[in-house]
Amino acid sequence: MDRINGRASDQLRPVAFELGIAPHAGGSVLVTMGNTRVICGVMIEETVPRWMKEQNVTGGWLTAEYSMLPYSTQTRKPRDIAKGRLDGRSTEIQRLIGRSLRGVVDLEKLGPRTIWVDCDVLQADGGTRTAAITGASLAVAVACRKFAKEKKIEAPPIKKLVAAVSAGVLNGNAIVDLDYEEDKRVTVDFNLVATEDGEFVEVQGSGEEATFSTAQLEQMIAIGRKGIADLIAAQRVVLARLMVTPES
């Protein structure tokens, strides 16, 4: 089928990861997917949330924050702090990022510590939540390696990589990794989060004033899983490079 940008239905936008974008973070990544760019930074605190202490919950915690910088969109987006509260979309996305990463981190092995993951959208052109998850997964992997090297933790608690991708139905056909123009036109909006061994963390899907068939759902899952496999392969290339070249 013909997409706006000429990509095949199962083809991702160009993907790139730039490490060390935030030098004071334990791990940081600028993830680029087409014209969408998100900075993901990871830091660790030697404490856990109060509710864990009150409920005698053992292990550690991982939490995420997400925001879109004012200049990330064509018209200025006011900061949430200017409104005095997070908007519903930001709250939903940062909870999704947190769930996605807690699904692949051994919180018991982490110990009584909190991993903070901050995702800031530098440029938005569709798929910011999925790019944030993919970039954050790599940033957490880099940070855990650094924390273990610095003896802040005994061993890296991350169990596996995770990535996410959007999909949708355009003109009756399933497509993957939507940019903004495609996102406006699809009749089905779908997001898939899965691990490197193909297990799902979360699946989100809804019709946009439309319905979708079982066959279309299966197509979106199939191309979504292929997209995630491609993203995790790209993550692994970066991590393999780190094994021979110390991170800055």
Average pLDDT over residues 78-103: 87
Residue-level pLDDT at 151: 85
Tell me how far the alpha carbon of residue 186 is from its chain's centroid: 22
236: domain CATH number is 3.30.230.70
Classify residue 220: in a domain, yes or no: yes
Classify residue 88: in a domain, yes or no: yes
190 neighbors 168 (Cβ within 8 angstroms): yes
Classify residue 168: in a domain, yes or no: yes
The pTM assigned to this predicted structure is 0.93
Residue-level pLDDT at 247: 46
- In this structure, the number of other CB atoms found within 10 A of the CB of residue 122 comes to 17
Q: What is the rounded average pLDDT for all residues in the chain?
A: 92
60 neighbors 112 (Cβ within 8 angstroms): yes
Classify residue 7: in a domain, yes or no: no
Classify residue 1: in a domain, yes or no: no
Classify residue 9: in a domain, yes or no: no
CA atoms within 13 A of residue 177's CA, in its CB half-sphere? 28
Report the alpha-carbon distance of residue 41 to residue 24 in Å, rounded.
Answer: 9
What total of structural domains would you count in the chain?
Answer: 1
Classify residue 64: in a domain, yes or no: yes
Q: Residues with Cβ < 8 Å from 76, sequence gap 6 or more?
A: 70
Residue-level pLDDT at 189: 92
Q: Where in the sequence is the domain holding 160, given as residue range(s)?
A: 15-244
